[in-house]
Amino acid sequence: MRRRRFLGALAALGAAPGFASEHTVEAMRFSSLAPGAALPEWLRPYAFANRPRLTEYSLVEDDRRTVLRARADAATAGLIRRLRVDAGRYPIVGWRWKVTNLLAKSDLATKEGDDYPVRLYVGFDVDPATLPAAERFKLDLARLFWGEDLPLAALCYVWDARAPAGTFAPNAYTDRVRMVVVESGAARLGRWVAYERDVAVDYRRAFGPSRPPVPAVNAVIVSTDTDNTGERAEAFYGDVEFRSRRSS
């Protein structure tokens, strides 16, 4: 996926708080919506000016509840929820998804293969002043190409066709986004699969143990994209929430 606007969305200012309780923060709650309804205002679509084919998203009923369906045919687009979550208090992100098919040409290591049937991005509100001088220099160079809103840190959880679960790798376009493979291969295609990840642990593994306390989460994005590989994909997303370790 060509990422300038996409990556910029992660670092957008003015993030709203999520729907919070004592032990959870709801990031995306599709199950509270009606099948066939319009997408809610808190879930903002975005697209790319140079990409005429867009992923289609709709609310449908599956597994006796409302979920988000994504269909892409050589297409790309995503949905973003801007929010603010204390990653120290609510470090566990939980979600579920269902994938109909994998992408034969998907490749974690190349720009041409940077497509996935499902992605869940978690963006972090990083202060540039906390970065070492060498990283700030690299960031300045990257922004000459990507734009001023390049995110300082984001985790991207994916279902990959070949890379084993547990793989961490820089995104093919920028190392400010780290790919995390949570599912690999076709064994669980066509069924709902639930996940829990500790974003504080993953953040430190992805960006280094010497970092200061993990910054707040400022965005969650779901994305199904096939624009680079030219393939087709269908997937379904369930609710996404952040939880305290106590409630997990």
Query: How many domains does the structure of the chain reveal?
Result: 1
- Which domain, by its residues, includes 96? 4-247
What is residue 123's predicted lDDT score, i.e. its pLDDT?
Answer: 92
Handedness of CA 66, 45, 216, 200 (dihedral sign): positive
pLDDT in tens, 13-54: 334 545 556 789 999 999 999 999 999 999 988 766 566 789
Residue 139 sits in a domain whose CATH number is 2.60.120.260
- The string of DSSP letters for 139-168 reads HHHHHHHH-TT--S-EEEEEEESSSPTT-E
Give 111's DSSP letter: S
pTM over the 0.75 mark: yes
- The string of DSSP letters for 178-206 reads EEEEEEESSTTTTS-EEEEEEHHHHHHHH
Are the beta carbons of 83 and 218 closer than 8 angstroms? yes
Rounded to the nearest angstrom, the gap between the alpha carbon of residue 18 and the centroid of all alpha carbons in its chain is 16
Residue 2 has pLDDT above 70, yes or no: no
pLDDT in tens, 104-158: 999 999 999 999 999 999 999 887 777 777 777 776 766 654 445 556 789 999 9
Rounded to an integer, the average pLDDT of 69-78 is 94
Are the beta carbons of 223 and 216 closer than 8 angstroms? no
Can you list the alpha helix ranges (DSSP code H) found in the chain? 4-10, 133-146, 199-207
